[in-house]
C-alpha cells in the first residue's frame, strides 16, 4: 500500500497552491516525499487486431481513409500489371520497360517540392479529392494511349498518375494525426500498413488474373473506377483546413521547410530513416532472377509467386504480431525502427546464402517484416515529433527521396549484375549496407531531450507542454505526485509551476 502524505507534505502543497511564487524545489520535494493513496487503473493493453477494429468502429474519418486506401491499393496493382503488359506488348525491348520505372521516379521527384506546400496550405481533404479525380482521368487517358498504340502516351499518362500519387500519399500521411488521438497514431499507421501488406500478398495476383482474363483495356478502366470509389470514401471525411493562415504563404513554402529541418537535426534524421529503408528495397526488383534457376533449379511463375507472397506474409507479421511486442511509446517506436534495419540485414544475409526456394522464401519474409515494422515506426515517429504545420512538406520530401533512392539502388544493382557480379554477391552487399545503417539509425534515434538544442524559437510546443499550460497549480502538484509513473519529466512540472 502506498504511504499516505504526511501533514508536512500537505503544507508544501498549500504553499504551492497559494498566492506566493512557488519554487521547483518544493515541487520536487512533494514528488519525492509522498505518493497518492490510490492510483488510477492502468489502461489495458489491447492486441493490435483488437485496436485496429476499435479504430475502424470509433473513428469515422480514419475508417473512410482506410477504405479509400484499400480500394486505391487494388487499383495501384491493376495499374502496375496492366501498364507493364501494355508496354511489353507494344515494345519488347528492355529499354522500354526501364522507361516505366524512370517515368514513375522522375514524376515523384518533380512534384515533391510543389506537393508539400500545397498540402500544408490547402484543406487536406479537399486536396485529396481533387487528386483522386485527376488520377481517374489519367487512368482513362492510359486507355486511350493503349488504343492508339502510343508508348509516349503511356509514359505521359503514367507520369501524370505518379505526380498525383506524389501529392496523395504524403497528404494521407499528414491526415492521420488529425483523425485520431495522439496515442492512437501508431495503431492507425499499423492498420494502413497492414492493408498495404495484404494487397502486396494478393494484389499482384489479382491484377495479373484480371489483366490476363479481362484484357488490358478492362484492367485500365477498372483502375480508373477504383479512384472514383476511393474518392467517394474520402469525401466522407471531415474537413481538414490548413493550420497556417493564407496570409502566411511564405511560412508554408518549401524553403521554410528546409529551414525547419536545418534547425532541427532530430527531425531531419527522422525524415531520412524511411528513405534509407526504401533504398534497401531496391533489391526486391530482382526477385524474378531468384525464380529462374538460381536456387537449386527452381524456376517459373509459381516460384516467383511464392517469393512475392512471402514478402507480403512478412509485412502482415510485422503489422500485427511484432507491433504487439514493439508497442506505441516513443522509446519502443525508436527500438522498432532500429530493429527494422537489423531484420532487413539478417534477411538479405540469409537470402544470399539460400540453397533452396523455401529458404529464400523465409529470408524474404524476414525482409518483409523489417520493412513493415520500419514503415510503421518511421511514419509514427515523424508524425509525433514534428510540427503538424510542416507534415505535408516533410512527408513529400520523405516520399520523393525514398523513390529516388530505391530507383538508384536498383540501377546500381542492375549495373553490377550486367557487369558479371553474381546475384548472391549483390544481395550480400545489400545486407552489409543494411547492417551499416543500423548504426545510422541508432544515432538518428537518440531522444530529442538528449540532443543539445541551440534554439527552440519558432517551434510549436509539444503536446505535453500544451496539456500542462491548461493545468492549474493544484492539479500540477497532484499530477506531480504520480510523476514516477508519468512519461512527463519532473523538471517540466517544476518549470511550469515556477512560471505560475
Q: Is residue 250 part of a domain?
A: no
Domain CATH number, residue 299: 1.20.1250.20
Residue 296 has pLDDT above 70, yes or no: no
Residues 21, 161 share a domain: no
Q: Quickly state the pLDDT bin for 322 (edges 50, 70, 90).
A: low
Whether 202 is in a domain gets the answer yes
Alpha helices in 327-422 (DSSP H): 330-352, 357-384, 391-418
Question: What is the pLDDT, as a whole number, of residue 331?
Answer: 83
Ramachandran bin of 404, using left for φ above 0, alpha for ψ from -120 to 50, beta for the remaining angles? alpha
Tell me whether residue 249 is in a domain: no
Lowest-pLDDT range of 32-46, 141-155, 311-325, 466-480: 466-480
Taking CB atoms within 8 Å and a gap of at least 24, the contacts of 288-297 are 289/417, 289/423, 290/351, 290/354, 290/360, 290/423, 291/357, 294/423, 294/424, 295/354, 295/355, 295/356, 295/357, 295/359, 295/360, 296/355, 296/356, 296/357
Does residue 83 lie in a domain region? Answer: yes
> Would you say residue 312 lies in a domain?
yes
Query: Would residue 456 count as lying in a domain?
Result: no
pLDDT at 258 over 80: yes
Q: When comparing pLDDT for 2 and 102, which is higher?
A: 102
Together in a domain, 30 and 53:
no
pLDDT at 471 > cutoff 60:
no
Question: What is the per-residue pLDDT for 171?
Answer: 93
Residues 13 and 58 in one domain: no
pLDDT of residue 98: 72
* pLDDT for res 34: 43
- The residue ranking higher by pLDDT, 16 or 428, is 428
Cell of 379: 511514419
Is 50 exceeded by the pLDDT of residue 462? no
Please indicate, yes or no, whether residues 76 and 127 belong to a single structural domain of this protein.
yes
Please tell me whether residues 67 and 27 are part of one structural domain: no
Same domain? 18 vs 93 = no
Give me the pLDDT at residue 415, please. Answer: 83
pLDDT confidence of residue 214: 84
On whether residue 332 sits in a domain, the answer given is: yes
pLDDT computed for residue 447 by the predictor: 62
- Give the per-residue pLDDT at 252: 67
Q: Do 272 and 296 belong together in one domain?
A: yes
Give the structural domain span for 415.
Answer: 265-448
Residue 353: band (very low, low, confident or very high) from pLDDT cuts 50, 70, 90: confident
Q: If you average pLDDT over residues 142-166, what whole number do you get?
A: 91
pLDDT at 35 over 70: no
- Residue 438's pLDDT is 83
The 10s digit of each residue's pLDDT in 371-429 is: 888 888 889 999 999 988 889 899 999 998 988 888 888 888 888 888 888 888 988 99
For residue 274, give the nearest of 179, 173, 362 by alpha carbon.
Answer: 173
Buried b (16+ CB within 10 A) or exposed e, 403-414: bbbbbebbbebb
Give me the pLDDT at residue 112, please. Answer: 87
Together in a domain, 282 and 381: yes
pLDDT of residue 239 exceeding 70, the answer is yes
Residues 299 and 314: their CA atoms lie apart, in Å, by 22
The pLDDT of residue 24 is: 42
**Residue 468 maps to a domain:** no
> Nearest to residue 170, comparing CAs of 127, 203, 199?
127
- Looking at the fold, whether 31 and 51 belong to one and the same domain comes out as no
Counted domains in the chain:
3
Instruction: Give the pLDDT mean for 59-83.
Output: 87
Alpha-carbon span 259 to 24, nearest angstrom: 35
Based on the fold, state whether residues 280 and 143 are members of the same structural domain. Answer: no
Which pLDDT value is given to residue 227?
92
11-15, 45-49, 86-90, range with greatest mean pLDDT: 86-90
Residues 201 and 313 in one domain: no
pLDDT of residue 13: 40
More confident of the two residues 205 and 42? 205
Question: Are 216 and 82 in contact, with CB atoms under 8 Å apart?
Answer: yes
Mean pLDDT (whole number) for 174-187: 90
The DSSP secondary structure of 252-302, one letter per residue, reads: GSHHHHHHHHHH-HHHHHHHHHHHHHHHHGGGGGGHHHHTEEEETTEESHH
Query: Are residues 18 and 141 both part of a single domain?
Result: no
Checking if the pLDDT of 2 tops 90, the result is no
> Quick one: average pLDDT of 432-450?
74
Among 223-227, 242-246, 304-308, which range has the highest average pLDDT?
Answer: 223-227
Full-model pTM = 0.71
Mean residue pLDDT of the chain comes to 76
Q: Is the distance from CB of 383 to CB of 259 less than 8 angstroms?
A: no
Distance (Å, whole) CA 387 – CA 396: 14
Amino acid at each position: 500500500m502506498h504511504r499516505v502524505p504526511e501533514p508536512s507534505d500537505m503544507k508544501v502543497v498549500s504553499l504551492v497552491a497559494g498566492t506566493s511564487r512557488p519554487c521547483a524545489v518544493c515541487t520536487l520535494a512533494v514528488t519525492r516525499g509522498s505518493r497518492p493513496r490510490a492510483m488510477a487503473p492502468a489502461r489495458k493493453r489491447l492486441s493490435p487486431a483488437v485496436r485496429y477494429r476499435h479504430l475502424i468502429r470509433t473513428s469515422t474519418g480514419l475508417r473512410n481513409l482506410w477504405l479509400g486506401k484499400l480500394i486505391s491499393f487494388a487499383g495501384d496493382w491493376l495499374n502496375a500489371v496492366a501498364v507493364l503488359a501494355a508496354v511489353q506488348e507494344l515494345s519488347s525491348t528492355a529499354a522500354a520497360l526501364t522507361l516505366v520505372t524512370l517515368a514513375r521516379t522522375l514524376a515523384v521527384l518533380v512534384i515533391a517540392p510543389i506537393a508539400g506546400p500545397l498540402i500544408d496550405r490547402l484543406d487536406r481533404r479537399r486536396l485529396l479529392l481533387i487528386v483522386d479525380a485527376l488520377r481517374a482521368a489519367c487512368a482513362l487517358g492510359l486507355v486511350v494511349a493503349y488504343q492508339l498504340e502510343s508508348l509516349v502516351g503511356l509514359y505521359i499518362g503514367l507520369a501524370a498518375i505518379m505526380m498525383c500519387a506524389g501529392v496523395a500519399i504524403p497528404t494521407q500521411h499528414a491526415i492521420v494525426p488529425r483523425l485520431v488521438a495522439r496515442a492512437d497514431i501508431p495503431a492507425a499507421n499499423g492498420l494502413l500498413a497492414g492493408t498495404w501488406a495484404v494487397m502486396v500478398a494478393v494484389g499482384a495476383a489479382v491484377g495479373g488474373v484480371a489483366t490476363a482474363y479481362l484484357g488490358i483495356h478492362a484492367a485500365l478502366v477498372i483502375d480508373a473506377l477504383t479512384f472514383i470509389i476511393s474518392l467517394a470514401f474520402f469525401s466522407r471525411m471531415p474537413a481538414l483546413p490548413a493550420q497556417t493562415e493564407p496570409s502566411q504563404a511564405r511560412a508554408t513554402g518549401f524553403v521554410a521547410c528546409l529551414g525547419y529541418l536545418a534547425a532541427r537535426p532530430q527531425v531531419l534524421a527522422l525524415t531520412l530513416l524511411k528513405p534509407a529503408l526504401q533504398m534497401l528495397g531496391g533489391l526486391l526488383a530482382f526477385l524474378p532472377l531468384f525464380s529462374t534457376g538460381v536456387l537449386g533449379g527452381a524456376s517459373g511463375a509459381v516460384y516467383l509467386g511464392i517469393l512475392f507472397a512471402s514478402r507480403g506474409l512478412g509485412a502482415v507479421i510485422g503489422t500485427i504480431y511484432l507491433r504487439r511486442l514493439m508497442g506505441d511509446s516513443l522509446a519502443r517506436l525508436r527500438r522498432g525502427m532500429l530493429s527494422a534495419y537489423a531484420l532487413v540485414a539478417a534477411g538479405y544475409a540469409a537470402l544470399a546464402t539460400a540453397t533452396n526456394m523455401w529458404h529464400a522464401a523465409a529470408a524474404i519474409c524476414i525482409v518483409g517484416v523489417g520493412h513493415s515494422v520500419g514503415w510503421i515506426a518511421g511514419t509514427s515517429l515523424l508524425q509525433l515529433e514534428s510540427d503538424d504545420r510542416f507534415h505535408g512538406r516533410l512527408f513529400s520530401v520523405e516520399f520523393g527521396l525514398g523513390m529516388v533512392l530505391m530507383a538508384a539502388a536498383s540501377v546500381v544493382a542492375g549495373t553490377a549484375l550486367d557487369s558479371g557480379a553474381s546475384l548472391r554477391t549483390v544481395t550480400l552487399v545489400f545486407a552489409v549496407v543494411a547492417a551499416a545503417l543500423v548504426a545510422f539509425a541508432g544515432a538518428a534515434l537518440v531522444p530529442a531531450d538528449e540532443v543539445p538544442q541551440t534554439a527552440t524559437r519558432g517551434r510549436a510546443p509539444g503536446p505535453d507542454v500544451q496539456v500542462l499550460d491548461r493545468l492549474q497549480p493544484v492539479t500540477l502538484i497532484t499530477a506531480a505526485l504520480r510523476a514516477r509513473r508519468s512519461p512527463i519529466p519532473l523538471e517540466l512540472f517544476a518549470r511550469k509551476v515556477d512560471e505560475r
